[in-house]
Amino acid sequence: MAVGQVVDGLLVSADPFGSGWRPVFLVNVPIGLALLAASRRLLPDLPGDAGRGFDLPGLLTLAAALGLLVVPLVLGHELGWPAWGWAMLGGSALMFAVFAAVERRTAVRGGRPLIAGRVLGAPGLLPAAGAIFLIMAGFAGFMFAFALHQQAGLGRSALLAGLDSAPVAVAFGAASLLWQRVPQRLHRPLPVLGLALVAPGYVLVGLLLRGGGTVGMPEQAVLTVTGLAAGCAYSPLFARALGRVDPADAADASGVMVTVLQLGQVIGVTLLGTVFLGRVSYPAGAAASGHALLVTTAAIGGALAAAAVLAGRTGRAA
Protein backbone atom coordinates (compact mmCIF):
# COMPACT_ATOMS: atom_id res chain seq x y z
CA MET A 1 0.00 0.00 0.00
CA ALA A 2 2.72 2.43 0.99
CA VAL A 3 4.86 1.76 -2.07
CA GLY A 4 1.78 2.04 -4.29
CA GLN A 5 0.94 5.50 -2.96
CA VAL A 6 4.43 6.80 -3.69
CA VAL A 7 5.02 5.00 -7.00
CA ASP A 8 1.62 6.04 -8.32
CA GLY A 9 2.39 9.64 -7.38
CA LEU A 10 5.70 9.34 -9.19
CA LEU A 11 4.03 7.90 -12.31
CA VAL A 12 1.40 10.64 -12.43
CA SER A 13 4.04 13.34 -11.91
CA ALA A 14 6.28 11.84 -14.59
CA ASP A 15 3.34 11.71 -17.06
CA PRO A 16 5.03 9.20 -19.43
CA PHE A 17 4.01 9.73 -23.07
CA GLY A 18 1.38 12.23 -21.93
CA SER A 19 -0.68 9.41 -20.40
CA GLY A 20 -1.65 11.33 -17.25
CA TRP A 21 -3.13 9.11 -14.54
CA ARG A 22 -3.47 5.98 -16.69
CA PRO A 23 -0.13 4.32 -15.79
CA VAL A 24 -1.33 3.78 -12.20
CA PHE A 25 -3.76 1.23 -13.62
CA LEU A 26 -1.62 -0.07 -16.47
CA VAL A 27 1.22 -0.96 -14.08
CA ASN A 28 -1.01 -3.72 -12.70
CA VAL A 29 -1.00 -5.54 -16.04
CA PRO A 30 2.66 -6.69 -16.09
CA ILE A 31 2.51 -7.42 -12.36
CA GLY A 32 -0.58 -9.58 -12.86
CA LEU A 33 0.95 -11.42 -15.82
CA ALA A 34 4.14 -12.11 -13.85
CA LEU A 35 2.17 -13.48 -10.89
CA LEU A 36 0.04 -15.61 -13.19
CA ALA A 37 3.13 -17.14 -14.76
CA ALA A 38 4.79 -17.68 -11.37
CA SER A 39 1.69 -19.30 -9.89
CA ARG A 40 1.96 -22.27 -12.25
CA ARG A 41 5.37 -23.08 -10.80
CA LEU A 42 5.05 -21.98 -7.21
CA LEU A 43 1.50 -22.71 -6.06
CA PRO A 44 0.82 -26.31 -5.00
CA ASP A 45 -2.01 -28.49 -6.23
CA LEU A 46 -4.25 -29.10 -3.24
CA PRO A 47 -6.14 -32.38 -2.65
CA GLY A 48 -9.69 -32.18 -3.97
CA ASP A 49 -9.09 -29.25 -6.29
CA ALA A 50 -9.69 -31.29 -9.43
CA GLY A 51 -13.09 -32.53 -8.29
CA ARG A 52 -14.28 -29.34 -6.73
CA GLY A 53 -16.38 -28.17 -9.66
CA PHE A 54 -17.07 -24.66 -10.88
CA ASP A 55 -20.20 -22.73 -9.95
CA LEU A 56 -20.59 -20.79 -13.20
CA PRO A 57 -24.22 -19.69 -12.57
CA GLY A 58 -23.23 -18.37 -9.15
CA LEU A 59 -20.21 -16.58 -10.55
CA LEU A 60 -22.22 -14.91 -13.32
CA THR A 61 -25.07 -13.76 -11.07
CA LEU A 62 -22.68 -12.43 -8.42
CA ALA A 63 -20.62 -10.61 -11.06
CA ALA A 64 -23.82 -9.08 -12.46
CA ALA A 65 -24.98 -8.00 -9.00
CA LEU A 66 -21.65 -6.38 -8.17
CA GLY A 67 -21.42 -4.70 -11.57
CA LEU A 68 -24.90 -3.24 -11.24
CA LEU A 69 -23.93 -1.92 -7.80
CA VAL A 70 -20.47 -0.52 -8.55
CA VAL A 71 -20.98 1.16 -11.95
CA PRO A 72 -23.65 3.68 -10.86
CA LEU A 73 -21.77 4.40 -7.65
CA VAL A 74 -18.59 5.16 -9.58
CA LEU A 75 -20.24 7.27 -12.29
CA GLY A 76 -23.28 8.64 -10.48
CA HIS A 77 -21.83 11.85 -9.03
CA GLU A 78 -19.97 12.77 -12.21
CA LEU A 79 -23.08 12.28 -14.38
CA GLY A 80 -25.55 13.89 -12.00
CA TRP A 81 -27.16 10.65 -10.79
CA PRO A 82 -29.14 9.78 -13.94
CA ALA A 83 -32.24 7.59 -13.82
CA TRP A 84 -30.43 4.61 -15.31
CA GLY A 85 -28.05 4.67 -12.33
CA TRP A 86 -30.89 4.31 -9.85
CA ALA A 87 -32.36 1.57 -12.04
CA MET A 88 -29.05 -0.28 -11.91
CA LEU A 89 -28.93 0.00 -8.12
CA GLY A 90 -32.42 -1.49 -7.94
CA GLY A 91 -31.35 -4.20 -10.37
CA SER A 92 -28.37 -4.94 -8.16
CA ALA A 93 -30.62 -5.71 -5.18
CA LEU A 94 -32.66 -8.01 -7.42
CA MET A 95 -29.54 -9.80 -8.70
CA PHE A 96 -28.24 -10.35 -5.17
CA ALA A 97 -31.57 -12.06 -4.39
CA VAL A 98 -31.20 -14.15 -7.55
CA PHE A 99 -27.64 -15.05 -6.52
CA ALA A 100 -28.85 -16.25 -3.12
CA ALA A 101 -31.53 -18.40 -4.81
CA VAL A 102 -29.00 -19.85 -7.28
CA GLU A 103 -26.62 -20.75 -4.45
CA ARG A 104 -29.38 -22.47 -2.46
CA ARG A 105 -30.42 -24.48 -5.51
CA THR A 106 -26.83 -25.51 -6.21
CA ALA A 107 -26.41 -26.70 -2.62
CA VAL A 108 -29.70 -28.64 -2.67
CA ARG A 109 -28.60 -30.42 -5.84
CA GLY A 110 -25.36 -31.52 -4.19
CA GLY A 111 -23.10 -29.07 -6.01
CA ARG A 112 -20.46 -26.74 -4.61
CA PRO A 113 -21.90 -23.22 -4.47
CA LEU A 114 -19.63 -20.24 -4.80
CA ILE A 115 -20.59 -19.17 -1.25
CA ALA A 116 -21.99 -21.96 0.89
CA GLY A 117 -24.52 -21.00 3.55
CA ARG A 118 -22.60 -22.88 6.24
CA VAL A 119 -19.56 -20.67 5.54
CA LEU A 120 -21.51 -17.53 6.37
CA GLY A 121 -22.75 -19.26 9.52
CA ALA A 122 -19.24 -19.76 10.92
CA PRO A 123 -18.97 -18.11 14.38
CA GLY A 124 -17.77 -14.54 14.12
CA LEU A 125 -17.41 -14.43 10.34
CA LEU A 126 -20.28 -12.08 9.47
CA PRO A 127 -19.64 -9.42 12.16
CA ALA A 128 -15.89 -9.55 11.43
CA ALA A 129 -16.55 -9.22 7.69
CA GLY A 130 -18.86 -6.28 8.33
CA ALA A 131 -16.28 -4.53 10.49
CA ILE A 132 -13.52 -5.14 7.94
CA PHE A 133 -15.77 -3.83 5.18
CA LEU A 134 -16.21 -0.56 7.10
CA ILE A 135 -12.49 -0.34 7.95
CA MET A 136 -11.46 -0.72 4.33
CA ALA A 137 -14.21 1.62 3.14
CA GLY A 138 -13.01 4.27 5.57
CA PHE A 139 -9.36 3.75 4.69
CA ALA A 140 -9.91 3.86 0.93
CA GLY A 141 -12.33 6.76 1.16
CA PHE A 142 -9.89 8.75 3.25
CA MET A 143 -7.00 8.06 0.89
CA PHE A 144 -9.11 9.23 -2.05
CA ALA A 145 -10.37 12.41 -0.38
CA PHE A 146 -6.96 13.16 1.14
CA ALA A 147 -5.24 12.86 -2.26
CA LEU A 148 -7.82 15.15 -3.89
CA HIS A 149 -7.45 17.70 -1.10
CA GLN A 150 -3.66 17.63 -1.39
CA GLN A 151 -3.55 17.99 -5.16
CA ALA A 152 -6.65 19.96 -6.17
CA GLY A 153 -7.10 21.89 -2.94
CA LEU A 154 -3.52 22.63 -1.89
CA GLY A 155 -1.92 22.44 -5.33
CA ARG A 156 0.66 19.83 -4.35
CA SER A 157 2.09 17.41 -6.88
CA ALA A 158 0.90 13.81 -7.11
CA LEU A 159 4.29 12.64 -5.83
CA LEU A 160 4.16 14.85 -2.72
CA ALA A 161 0.56 13.81 -2.09
CA GLY A 162 1.65 10.18 -2.28
CA LEU A 163 4.49 10.82 0.16
CA ASP A 164 2.09 12.51 2.58
CA SER A 165 -0.15 9.42 2.44
CA ALA A 166 2.73 7.00 3.04
CA PRO A 167 2.90 7.19 6.89
CA VAL A 168 -0.67 6.02 7.44
CA ALA A 169 -0.22 3.21 4.90
CA VAL A 170 3.13 2.12 6.36
CA ALA A 171 1.72 2.18 9.88
CA PHE A 172 -1.37 0.22 8.78
CA GLY A 173 0.77 -2.45 7.12
CA ALA A 174 3.26 -2.70 9.99
CA ALA A 175 0.57 -3.05 12.65
CA SER A 176 -1.25 -5.64 10.53
CA LEU A 177 1.89 -7.78 10.52
CA LEU A 178 3.09 -7.21 14.09
CA TRP A 179 -0.10 -7.02 16.18
CA GLN A 180 0.52 -10.46 17.73
CA ARG A 181 3.44 -8.96 19.67
CA VAL A 182 0.90 -7.04 21.73
CA PRO A 183 0.48 -8.70 25.17
CA GLN A 184 -1.85 -11.70 24.96
CA ARG A 185 -4.34 -10.26 27.44
CA LEU A 186 -5.06 -7.44 24.96
CA HIS A 187 -5.72 -9.64 21.93
CA ARG A 188 -9.41 -10.10 22.66
CA PRO A 189 -10.30 -6.38 23.04
CA LEU A 190 -7.68 -5.20 20.52
CA PRO A 191 -10.03 -4.61 17.53
CA VAL A 192 -12.42 -2.52 19.62
CA LEU A 193 -9.55 -0.59 21.24
CA GLY A 194 -7.99 0.01 17.82
CA LEU A 195 -11.23 1.28 16.31
CA ALA A 196 -11.82 3.47 19.37
CA LEU A 197 -8.65 5.30 18.30
CA VAL A 198 -9.18 5.14 14.54
CA ALA A 199 -12.62 6.80 14.48
CA PRO A 200 -11.58 10.00 16.30
CA GLY A 201 -8.17 9.87 14.60
CA TYR A 202 -9.63 10.47 11.16
CA VAL A 203 -11.84 13.24 12.55
CA LEU A 204 -8.84 14.88 14.21
CA VAL A 205 -6.97 14.90 10.89
CA GLY A 206 -9.95 16.66 9.33
CA LEU A 207 -10.02 19.21 12.15
CA LEU A 208 -6.30 19.92 11.81
CA LEU A 209 -6.59 20.46 8.04
CA ARG A 210 -9.97 22.20 7.90
CA GLY A 211 -8.41 25.65 7.46
CA GLY A 212 -6.49 24.67 4.34
CA GLY A 213 -3.05 24.34 5.92
CA THR A 214 -0.42 21.92 4.67
CA VAL A 215 0.35 18.57 6.26
CA GLY A 216 2.97 19.04 8.97
CA MET A 217 4.42 16.98 11.80
CA PRO A 218 1.26 17.07 14.00
CA GLU A 219 -0.90 15.81 11.15
CA GLN A 220 1.62 13.13 10.22
CA ALA A 221 1.79 11.99 13.84
CA VAL A 222 -1.99 11.64 13.99
CA LEU A 223 -2.02 9.81 10.65
CA THR A 224 0.64 7.40 11.86
CA VAL A 225 -1.19 6.59 15.10
CA THR A 226 -4.45 6.20 13.16
CA GLY A 227 -2.78 3.79 10.73
CA LEU A 228 -1.29 1.76 13.59
CA ALA A 229 -4.66 1.53 15.32
CA ALA A 230 -6.41 0.53 12.09
CA GLY A 231 -3.90 -2.25 11.48
CA CYS A 232 -4.34 -3.49 15.05
CA ALA A 233 -8.08 -3.77 14.39
CA TYR A 234 -7.91 -5.16 10.86
CA SER A 235 -5.68 -8.22 11.22
CA PRO A 236 -7.23 -9.65 14.43
CA LEU A 237 -10.65 -9.27 12.82
CA PHE A 238 -9.46 -11.09 9.72
CA ALA A 239 -8.11 -13.89 11.93
CA ARG A 240 -11.45 -14.11 13.75
CA ALA A 241 -13.37 -14.20 10.50
CA LEU A 242 -11.48 -17.31 9.33
CA GLY A 243 -10.38 -18.83 12.63
CA ARG A 244 -13.48 -20.95 13.24
CA VAL A 245 -14.29 -21.91 9.66
CA ASP A 246 -14.22 -25.62 8.90
CA PRO A 247 -10.95 -26.43 7.06
CA ALA A 248 -12.97 -27.86 4.17
CA ASP A 249 -14.55 -24.43 3.70
CA ALA A 250 -11.35 -22.39 4.03
CA ALA A 251 -11.14 -21.56 0.33
CA ASP A 252 -14.77 -20.43 0.23
CA ALA A 253 -14.39 -18.30 3.36
CA SER A 254 -11.21 -16.65 2.13
CA GLY A 255 -12.98 -15.88 -1.16
CA VAL A 256 -15.78 -14.20 0.79
CA MET A 257 -13.27 -12.09 2.70
CA VAL A 258 -11.36 -11.04 -0.42
CA THR A 259 -14.66 -9.97 -1.99
CA VAL A 260 -15.51 -8.00 1.16
CA LEU A 261 -12.10 -6.28 1.03
CA GLN A 262 -12.42 -5.26 -2.60
CA LEU A 263 -16.04 -4.19 -2.30
CA GLY A 264 -15.29 -2.19 0.85
CA GLN A 265 -12.61 -0.22 -0.98
CA VAL A 266 -14.83 0.44 -4.00
CA ILE A 267 -17.79 1.51 -1.89
CA GLY A 268 -15.53 3.65 0.30
CA VAL A 269 -14.06 5.53 -2.64
CA THR A 270 -17.42 6.03 -4.35
CA LEU A 271 -19.62 6.95 -1.39
CA LEU A 272 -17.08 8.91 0.63
CA GLY A 273 -15.74 10.44 -2.57
CA THR A 274 -19.29 11.61 -3.28
CA VAL A 275 -19.50 13.12 0.22
CA PHE A 276 -16.23 14.95 -0.39
CA LEU A 277 -17.01 16.17 -3.90
CA GLY A 278 -20.51 17.13 -2.86
CA ARG A 279 -18.97 19.72 -0.52
CA VAL A 280 -16.43 21.26 -2.87
CA SER A 281 -16.14 21.98 -6.58
CA TYR A 282 -12.68 22.52 -8.01
CA PRO A 283 -11.09 24.91 -8.65
CA ALA A 284 -11.73 26.00 -5.06
CA GLY A 285 -9.75 27.51 -2.25
CA ALA A 286 -7.72 25.48 0.22
CA ALA A 287 -10.11 26.32 3.07
CA ALA A 288 -13.16 25.06 1.14
CA SER A 289 -11.31 21.86 0.31
CA GLY A 290 -10.27 21.49 3.95
CA HIS A 291 -13.88 21.86 5.07
CA ALA A 292 -14.93 19.12 2.62
CA LEU A 293 -12.21 16.89 4.05
CA LEU A 294 -13.51 17.54 7.58
CA VAL A 295 -17.06 16.54 6.59
CA THR A 296 -15.68 13.39 4.95
CA THR A 297 -13.58 12.40 7.96
CA ALA A 298 -16.62 12.92 10.19
CA ALA A 299 -18.54 10.44 8.02
CA ILE A 300 -15.60 8.02 8.23
CA GLY A 301 -15.55 8.38 12.00
CA GLY A 302 -19.22 7.43 12.17
CA ALA A 303 -18.68 4.38 9.96
CA LEU A 304 -15.78 3.20 12.11
CA ALA A 305 -17.78 3.67 15.29
CA ALA A 306 -20.26 1.20 13.76
CA ALA A 307 -17.30 -1.07 12.93
CA ALA A 308 -16.30 -1.00 16.61
CA VAL A 309 -19.77 -2.27 17.56
CA LEU A 310 -19.43 -5.14 15.08
CA ALA A 311 -15.91 -5.86 16.31
CA GLY A 312 -17.26 -6.18 19.84
CA ARG A 313 -19.61 -8.90 18.64
CA THR A 314 -16.70 -10.92 17.23
CA GLY A 315 -15.12 -11.04 20.70
CA ARG A 316 -18.03 -13.12 21.94
CA ALA A 317 -17.39 -15.68 19.21
CA ALA A 318 -13.60 -15.70 19.63
Taking the C-alpha atoms of residue 295 and residue 279, their distance in angstroms, rounded to an integer, is 8
> Which range among 21-30, 43-52, 64-73, 193-202 shows the weakest confidence by mean pLDDT?
43-52
Q: What is the predicted pLDDT for the residue at 315? A: 66
| Burial of 36: CB neighbours in 10 Å, binned 0-12, 13-18, 19+ | exposed
> Is 235 within 8 Å of 310 (Cβ atoms)?
no
Return the closest-CA partner of residue 98 out of 143, 57, 149, 133: 57
| Burial of 31: CB neighbours in 10 Å, binned 0-12, 13-18, 19+ | exposed
Does pLDDT of 34 surpass 70? yes
Average pLDDT of the residues in 104-117: 82
Average pLDDT of the residues in 247-267: 86
- Residues 150-192 have pLDDT tens digits of 988 888 888 888 888 888 888 988 998 888 888 888 888 999 9
Average pLDDT, the chain: 87
Question: The pTM is what?
Answer: 0.84
For residue 118, give the amino acid letter. Answer: R
Structural domain boundaries in the chain = 54-114, 120-318
Note the CATH architecture for domain 120-318: Up-down Bundle (1.20)
For residue 167, give the amino acid letter. Answer: P
Does pLDDT of 317 surpass 60? no
Taking the C-alpha atoms of residue 236 and residue 234, their distance in angstroms, rounded to an integer, is 6
Please, which residues have CB within 8 angstroms of residue 186's CB and are 6 or more apart in sequence?
193
- Phi and psi at 166, nearest 5°, equal -65, -40
Please, which residues have CB within 8 angstroms of residue 92's CB and are 6 or more apart in sequence?
65, 66, 68, 69
